[in-house]
Structure 1
Amino acid sequence: MAGQLPPLHNHHQMAADAVLTSGNRSLVLVIAVIAAAALVVAVVLLRQVLAAGEGTDGMKKIAAAVQEGANAYLARQLRTLGVFAVVVFFLLMLLPADDMNQRVGRSLFFLVGAFFSAATGYIGMWLAVRSNVRVAAAAREASSGAGGPEKDLVTVSHNAMKIAFRTGGVVGMFTVGLGLLGASCVVLVYTADAPKVLEGFGLGAALIAMFMRVGGGIFTKAADVGADLVGKVEQGIPEDDPRNAATIADNVGDNVGDCAGMAADLFESYAVVLVASLILGTVAFGDAGLAFPLLVPAIGVITAMIGVFVVAPRRTDRSGMTAINRGFFISAVISLALVAAAAYAYLPATFAELDNVGDSEIAAHSGDPRLIALVAVAIGIVLAALIQQLTGYFTETTRKPVKDVGRSSLTGPATVVLSGISLGLESAVYTALLIGLSVYGAFLLGGASIMLALFAVALAGTGLLTTVGVIVAMDTFGPVSDNAQGIAEMSGDVEGPGAQVLTDLDAVGNTTKAITKGIAIATAVLAAAALFGSYREAFETEAAKVGAAADELGLSLDIAQPNNLVGLILGASVVFLFSGLAINAVSRSAGAVVYEVRRQFRERPGIMDYTEKPEYGRVVDICTKDALRELATPGLLAVMAPIAVGFTLGVGALASFLAGAIGTGILMAVFLANSGGAWDNAKKLVEDGHHGGKGGEAHAATVIGDTVGDPFKDTAGPAINPLLKVMNLVALLIAPAIVTLSYGDDASPGVRAVVAVLAMAVIVGSVYVSKRRGSVMEGDGAAERQASAPDPVTAP
């Protein structure tokens, strides 16, 4: 039968024989030291960034307001998530495991993964809100009267860019350092049980990342959309004009959304790929499978250090992207060379020489494990480079697609929106094809063994993540540059050449954010594909324990079966529902911001002539409350949907559910990210003087496009990455329970039905509550939503 499982092998039991030999233990210890070294480098970079000047008192005051708002939001969010983490900790204790050691370790490292993910995001935010004013101060040195002699424009631009990029370098080093350190500690402590324990570590990282992505995305885009619609469109004032009450909230949002959210997102990608690699590695490579999947990202840590320091702009560079691309490609090439050396030094020439391989087909494989490992990692590295170029093509201001979107502004906002949507749809196809070909290319390396093929896919994921340190640096560069421009504009202390330096850096930052979103999507798909293999291994093992046959209806992976086809459709549907809920949450919150900013302009007429100050704190509080309230529904959907499908339709249908979500998730995430990035840079293009420049009808049209694209690229699109991994990890954790309750002596259809009904009730209830909130209308409770907290700028 098509899609039928091969004869069941107890892969997990055979893999449990894998041990951490003294040589492997020493290697993992060295890897842990490398991870710790990344944290040391992060501290060195942090001190370099904080040593830069902070500019004028006006700039410092605005930066302090942004810092206060960002700290207040993240503190409230982390308190909320802390309660959720404790609940999940106890739920994980109830799930089956081979022994109590695994069960306790899995739950404990769930908390460790959650803490590391939150810490990575918080550190990214903490430094970004201190770096932004320093970048603005560096750009100010290009203007005369800036407290010293006017400096050469190129030198100033390079100094400002270096501060922004090294801020990202700090976050990148913490991402790779904490991720690798956590995984290394699990392997050292739990050895053969490490893959099971790492499931908890990965789930903790993924859950927190998803909540930070969704919450931060709702906050930042509600403020951004509200600020643009009232400030730019209705009042005709610049984006970061201090008269707009939403400007501080907008700048806060850049940090809690892009910095904290993306840092946590890429950290959990890092953790989840390591989880999948180690689960499959113990089957495919035996003892070596406990160390080699850690060796590849350890090399990435070293090359990330090189990449961050290599990004030093030159006078001959065409733009800031030239320097960033140089650092990225140098890092990628060095990674590939070092991985080749490591593979040929560490792995044997034949599979027969590997100890404790958990699959007889792999042990008899005629290939060279060194070459297979190297090619798999190379596929991941090349994929990162290709996506970097492809995403840059569709989102850079100097490329034809964005110029076409900008040109469409001459005929109004409708054509801007249509051109951006068509660009996003087209670019999603090319990116999906690249990722699909990469997965298939890695899969072919396994030959007749599906477990080896899936391990090759996981290794491709580790290869892609060898560049993650530079990728995180690229992403953080974007919001830091954006905030720097905002501080400069609000303070009025950076003019002329200095202001142009910041505008150029902001445009580069928009491109780097789009590129890192594309690469993050690729890591999500490779991680999800590898976890899919881990899921198969998990339910196969449990089925063998209870004596279930491979052709049982609930176990078969035959897509022709109605239950599996339904599972596939449901998986695709969840991605659409999740995206719709996220965008709708932004729409509701942005509506509240629009009415609040309008109220302030109407009731405080002195704002426009600078005789009165806006109440910035009220908008910050609206965004904070809305973001935290809207977190629950998408989060519950991600956790409960796999439970509802698995306990209702079986593990085969749950596998189809994951496949549907992965396929749809790739296309949706890239479409949303690239459409939003193109609209944003088309606006920058017009603001630089094309098609009539600022204030014209073309500018208004691109502002509309940008506001549509804001929740696309910074809320719904990026949140799909952790969504896929959360659902895969939940499926991996519950698969043994589904099989146990469905087959064998412990089968309990009643318990299975109760769990399924409860999961569906939670999903329906949370969506219903979310939809009942509706849109915020003026006079419809808007006054009650306004904050009573003191204003962070005007308060003493």
Structure 2
Amino acid sequence: MDDDMEGGPYQERTRTFPNMRSKPYSPLIFRLLMRINSRVLLVLLLFGLGALFYIGASTSPIIVFVYSVCIISFLVSIYLTKWVLSKDEGPPEMVQISEAIRDGAEGFFRTQYGTISKMAILLGLVILSIYLFRSTTPQQESSGLGRSTSAYITVAAFLLGALCSGIAGYVGMWVSVRANVRVSSAARRSAREALQIAVRAGGFSALVVVGMAVIGIAVLYATFYVWLEVDSPGAMKVSDLPLLLVGYGFGASFVALFAQLGGGIYTKAADVGADLVGKVEQGIPEDDPRNPAVIADLVGDNVGDCAARGADLFESIAAEIISAMILGGTMAQRCKIEDPSGFILFPLVVHSFDLVISSVGIFSIRNTRDSGIIGAMEDPMKILQKGYSVTIVLAVLTFGLSTRWMLYTEQAPSAWLNFALCGLVGIMTAYIFVWITKYYTDYKHEPVRTLALSSSTGHGTNIIAGVSLGLESTALPVLVISISIISAYWLGQTSGLVDESGSPTGGLFGTAVATMGMLSTAAYVLTMDMFGPIADNAGGIVEMSQQPESVREITDVLDAVGNTTKATTKGFAIGSAALASFLLFSAYMDEVASFAHVAFNQVDIAIPEVFIGGLLGSMLIYLFSAWACAAVGRSAQEVVNEVRRQFIERPGIMDYKEKPDYGRCVSIVASASLREMIKPGALAIISPIIVGFLFRVLGYYTGHPLLGAKVVAAMLMFATVSGILMALFLNTAGGAWDNAKKYIETGALGGKGSDCHKAAVTGDTVGDPFKDTAGPSLHVLIKMLATITLVMAPVFLKLLEVHVRECFGVASKPARLHFSSANGFPVVTNSCSRQGLTSSLASQRLAIVLMGVSGAGKSTIGGMLAKVINARFLDADDYHPQSNKDKMKTGIPLSDEDRIPWLETLRDALRVSLVNGETVILGCSALQKQYREILRCADPNYVPGSFTCAVKFILLSVAADVLAARLEKRAAEGNHFMPSKLLQSQLDSLQIDESEGILKVDASLDPQETLKTVQALVDPSLSEQELLS
């Protein structure tokens, strides 16, 4: 009896494949919905939509627009689903293979996401506990954001983000396991029809993923806006509202990281195991039904490439929207824009248009009337690129419309045009990134062909060439990212938007707009990405069901195009991740400054602890990558051992006399991937939290309350830079190795089975965990580090408020000192020595402002007092910009436009000294009450108008004739820029309100006598003898 591949009995009988599960799986939320009566469900749906639109209308008409577009996109996605599912599934053998893949994928999804959901709930409880016990500022309390409210908001946002990310992943997997067999069946009739089915299946997933990311954030924003009565008197400002959404981004990142890790380990462990034994040892083709790991490999395409990529892009969009909203709100507040909602909601509008234009791009790929497969087949890549070109053109038009609609302001009428150009920079960056990745990974170009040629001299030279190609491929993307960031920042800075001091403030928001431009075609890009695994699965089904060679040729072409689209979209993903991470880092800096009430504009790596944080961030990237690759290696070893065992114990497999046990390999890979994803995932989540806590405590005891936030900032910065470069290397090297193998399989350099091909298979095996596990996981990691630091930033600063309160005497120890009711200065109660005065002031961290007109002796007395009490002295004259000095030299009095920025600079300098645990003396005129109020705000807990804070004022009073004599003498010596003719204008400006409690000292006396008087006011308990000592 003939038992060979062409006519053996195993081939002739109907091929059956074991079910991995007894019944199809659907998530709990879908099962609950299906149990509800359809009429009741319809009523609930209409009620929910009504409530949604009511809340949206109470917030902004823009929110209503966003809701409408998202709901329409969901209806379009339903149409795409019905269209795809209406296609036939082909002969029974195809259906059986597809069901085996579907059951394996859904079974793994249930177990994986069950594990992830338990971890998410546990982490949500941890966040709740931390937020319930952290300190809050008086401003938060007054706006209704107490500990419990803040905790519940953050946890609710986190869980909603995690839920939506999980649904996004499930949607990607659900459609791919149903579309694969339909693409296989369509390939028997027409290449164009097969392409259209794969694209529309991917389009369904893409529209749902992007739509859920947008509507989820819009719902949270509108709900918080209405619930907290934002912008009402005493409530939160709308510009601060986006900070409450960071939990949503963290939840999305959390699920995406574990989905990418688990799915990546699954797909590559099965792929490596199948290739090493099947191709290399047994010499059988890819996706051959005799390979026991083939079903696990095909399942992996769905859980690793579809489900994980859906969660990945969902997280990217969510993180980019939230960070851009934070930066937009911050900029609008600094520029005093009357209605900041346009700048805050702009990202939601951009992605709403993304849904529209990507839908047009998807529908532009249509089937031809000629459904035959005879004749030359049109290049599927060209067809996809045509659709992408349509989407790009529409993106440019709609982006310009969005900027004019949302970002026009009378303060800077042409600013919207600059931001439109920022968006154009982002769109061009996306296109260039796709081209660069295609150049380095497509075998039509020189790099991959050179890599394939290196295989002719052995396995080692293939590995060396692949590593060098990956390293080289980091250069162009980094240059493009750098140029994009600088260009967008410059366009933003020159937009004409300025803050109160007249300084340009649009730079960071310009980079945010560029990031939105890059992601403005995200739905179509995700469609192309989903196309890849669907086409790959279709090819596997055709191979396993042993269809005619003409059908396999079509699926081979689609598979090759799918590999290219997957590689290019990974390049797009890392580029968008780089820009989004820059935004998230800036948002983290803004959030720390908002909570700490201290300027936080730079990270000084010259501080040893901060530099250590940077080193830890870079180390995290390398350690995470190592653990991810090692996880694939260990899981693949189990698959290899199992496949070898089956070939040994069932020798009839090779002759089609015995069936492989596919289910056993699926079970092994599933359990191994779930076990192995925990370690690297936990490393990514726990590391920034531990580092922040440790250095926060260290900073508390060393007198640097911001140390924890600074170290985490350095960790985030270095991890982002290292992660971008590592991801570029891993993705490109892995994709190049894969396509070098496929190039040889086309018949080049000896074709399949040659020594050159075996060397290329080795390179592909090495590259598998690079491009499909570690590399894509790094996309998520660098953004998750930023979102987790955004969520935990208040916790890193928990001790800061306690520390500052103790410094300002709000919670001081009564046994040591207290505030005098007479003048508000600390009084030593257990020591009258000068050392006691110094230690009391140091423990109080006061800011003493010696005020008065020019010539009163502020610098002289201030410098002397600082030496006596061991404090820091600041001379306000040193902080004047040159423009102010030039004005005064020419005898022109300063206006408020000149003074206020100068006073705000002084305020920030005082605040830094206070927070860093320093007692500080400031010599400053501070002639008017409004100016002194600015300086009092150096105390983070100061309530305007109360005049009770850590900033104390002493007026140095001098007779007018004495002042004139001093100024004339100083002018003659030429050591000051203030002319005597401005004295009268200063005396006229001097205003003292008795309710302020400002102390007055006669400074006409000898400086030593004046100093003694000031010391007595600072601490009236000092005796005459002690003052003279």
* Normalised TM-score (structure 1): 0.84
The 8 Å contact of residues 257 and 781 in structure 2, kept in 1 or not, is answered as yes
Letter in 1 for 2:111: R
Supply the distance in 2 between the matched residues of 1:747 and 1:475 (Cα, whole angstroms).
53
CA shift for structure 1 position 102: 3.9
The 8 Å contact of residues 680 and 706 in structure 1, kept in 2 or not, is answered as yes
Partner of 2:544: 490
Supply the distance in 1 between the matched residues of 2:241 and 2:675 (Cα, whole angstroms).
36
Partner of 1:247: 294
The 8 Å contact of residues 419 and 492 in structure 2, kept in 1 or not, is answered as no
Letter in 2 for 1:460: A
CA shift for structure 1 position 114: 0.8
Partner of 1:153: none
The 8 Å contact of residues 120 and 267 in structure 1, kept in 2 or not, is answered as yes
Supply the distance in 2 between the matched residues of 1:368 and 1:91 (Cα, whole angstroms).
47
Q: Please list the CA deviations of residues 667-722 of structure 1 after superposition, one character each: whole Å capped at 9, or x if unmatched.
A: 11111111111111111111111111111111111111111110000000000011
Supply the distance in 1 between the matched residues of 2:462 and 2:413 (Cα, whole angstroms).
53
The 8 Å contact of residues 106 and 196 in structure 1, kept in 2 or not, is answered as no
Letter in 2 for 1:522: G
The 8 Å contact of residues 343 and 406 in structure 2, kept in 1 or not, is answered as no
Partner of 1:766: none
Partner of 1:468: 522
Q: How does 1:521-532 map to 2 (within 5 A)?
A: 521-532=574-585
The number of equivalent residue pairs is 694
- Mapped pair 1:538 → 2:572: no
Partner of 1:273: 320
Partner of 2:165: 117
Q: Which moved more, 1:618-627 or 1:740-749?
A: 740-749
- Mapped pair 1:134 → 2:182: yes
Gaps of 5+ in 1: 1-19, 142-155, 353-365, 750-796
* Aligned residue among 437, 449, 459 for 2:513: 459
* Aligned residue among 14, 24, 46 for 2:81: 46
Look up the SS of the partner of 2:752 in the other structure.
Answer: coil
Partner of 1:57: 92
Supply the distance in 1 between the matched residues of 2:376 and 2:789 (Cα, whole angstroms).
51
Supply the distance in 1 between the matched residues of 2:318 and 2:122 (Cα, whole angstroms).
21
Report the CA distance shift for 1:313/1:671 in structure 2 as closer, same or farther (over 3 A): farther
CA shift for structure 1 position 541: 1.6
Partner of 1:103: 151
* Aligned residue among 351, 360, 363 for 1:306: 360
The 8 Å contact of residues 21 and 287 in structure 1, kept in 2 or not, is answered as no
The 8 Å contact of residues 741 and 748 in structure 1, kept in 2 or not, is answered as no
CA shift for structure 1 position 459: 1.8
CA shift for structure 1 position 272: 0.7
The 8 Å contact of residues 485 and 579 in structure 2, kept in 1 or not, is answered as yes
Partner of 2:393: 333
Q: Please list the CA deviations of residues 388-415 of structure 1 after superposition, one character each: whole Å capped at 9, or x if unmatched.
A: 1111111112111111112222111212
Letter in 1 for 2:276: L
Look up the SS of the partner of 2:187 in the other structure.
Answer: helix
The 8 Å contact of residues 329 and 385 in structure 1, kept in 2 or not, is answered as no
Identical columns (%):
41
Partner of 1:409: 455
* Aligned residue among 217, 220, 223 for 1:186: 220
Q: Which moved more, 1:242-251 or 1:108-117?
A: 108-117
Kindly report the root-mean-square deviation, in angstroms, between the aligned alpha carbons of the 2 structures. 2.1
Supply the distance in 2 between the matched residues of 1:582 and 1:116 (Cα, whole angstroms).
25
Supply the distance in 1 between the matched residues of 2:284 and 2:488 (Cα, whole angstroms).
52
Report the CA distance shift for 1:747/1:389 in structure 2 as closer, same or farther (over 3 A): farther
* Aligned residue among 727, 738, 763 for 2:785: 727
Supply the distance in 1 between the matched residues of 2:603 and 2:376 (Cα, whole angstroms).
56
Supply the distance in 2 between the matched residues of 1:194 and 1:90 (Cα, whole angstroms).
23
The 8 Å contact of residues 173 and 302 in structure 2, kept in 1 or not, is answered as yes
The 8 Å contact of residues 317 and 323 in structure 1, kept in 2 or not, is answered as no
CA shift for structure 1 position 748: 11
Q: Please list the CA deviations of residues 621-657 of structure 1 after superposition, one character each: whole Å capped at 9, or x if unmatched.
A: 1111111111211111111111122223321121111
Q: Please list the CA deviations of residues 509-559 of structure 1 after superposition, one character each: whole Å capped at 9, or x if unmatched.
A: 010000111111112111111111111011112221xxx686xxxx96212
Look up the SS of the partner of 1:558 in the other structure.
Answer: coil
* Aligned residue among 343, 347, 351 for 1:293: 347
Letter in 2 for 1:92: I
* Aligned residue among 185, 194, 209 for 1:175: 209
Letter in 1 for 2:250: L
CA shift for structure 1 position 121: 0.8
The 8 Å contact of residues 327 and 509 in structure 2, kept in 1 or not, is answered as yes
Supply the distance in 2 between the matched residues of 1:269 and 1:414 (Cα, whole angstroms).
37
The 8 Å contact of residues 38 and 176 in structure 1, kept in 2 or not, is answered as no
Supply the distance in 2 between the matched residues of 1:346 and 1:222 (Cα, whole angstroms).
48
Partner of 1:372: 418
Partner of 2:379: 319
Report the CA distance shift for 1:747/1:479 in structure 2 as closer, same or farther (over 3 A): farther
Letter in 2 for 1:108: A
Q: How does 1:351-750 map to 2 (within 5 A)?
A: 352=411, 368-447=414-493, 452-492=506-546, 494-544=547-597, 557-649=603-695, 650-742=708-800, 744-745=802-803
Supply the distance in 2 between the matched residues of 1:21 and 1:284 (Cα, whole angstroms).
24
Supply the distance in 2 between the matched residues of 1:326 and 1:538 (Cα, whole angstroms).
42
The 8 Å contact of residues 559 and 656 in structure 1, kept in 2 or not, is answered as yes
Higher helix share: 1
Partner of 1:282: 329
CA shift for structure 1 position 734: 1.8
Supply the distance in 2 between the matched residues of 1:450 and 1:628 (Cα, whole angstroms).
50
Supply the distance in 2 between the matched residues of 1:697 and 1:653 (Cα, whole angstroms).
52
CA shift for structure 1 position 451: 5.8
The 8 Å contact of residues 443 and 453 in structure 1, kept in 2 or not, is answered as yes
Supply the distance in 1 between the matched residues of 2:630 and 2:212 (Cα, whole angstroms).
34
Look up the SS of the partner of 1:242 in the other structure.
Answer: coil
Supply the distance in 2 between the matched residues of 1:28 and 1:241 (Cα, whole angstroms).
52
The 8 Å contact of residues 570 and 731 in structure 2, kept in 1 or not, is answered as yes
Radius of gyration: which is bigger? 2
Report the CA distance shift for 1:328/1:748 in structure 2 as closer, same or farther (over 3 A): farther
Letter in 1 for 2:655: D
Letter in 2 for 1:455: F
Gaps of 5+ in 2: 1-54, 226-237, 333-339, 369-374, 696-707, 808-1029
CA shift for structure 1 position 348: 2.6
Letter in 2 for 1:190: F
The 8 Å contact of residues 631 and 677 in structure 2, kept in 1 or not, is answered as no
Q: Please list the CA deviations of residues 564-609 of structure 1 after superposition, one character each: whole Å capped at 9, or x if unmatched.
A: 2222221111111110000000000000000000000001111111
Letter in 1 for 2:247: G
Partner of 1:261: 308
Letter in 2 for 1:504: V
- Mapped pair 1:81 → 2:141: no
Letter in 1 for 2:384: I
CA shift for structure 1 position 472: 0.7
Supply the distance in 2 between the matched residues of 1:560 and 1:519 (Cα, whole angstroms).
34
Q: Please list the CA deviations of residues 225-253 of structure 1 after superposition, one character each: whole Å capped at 9, or x if unmatched.
A: 00000000000001111111000000000
Look up the SS of the partner of 2:797 in the other structure.
Answer: helix
Q: Please list the CA deviations of residues 48-76 of structure 1 after superposition, one character each: whole Å capped at 9, or x if unmatched.
A: 11111111111111111000100000000
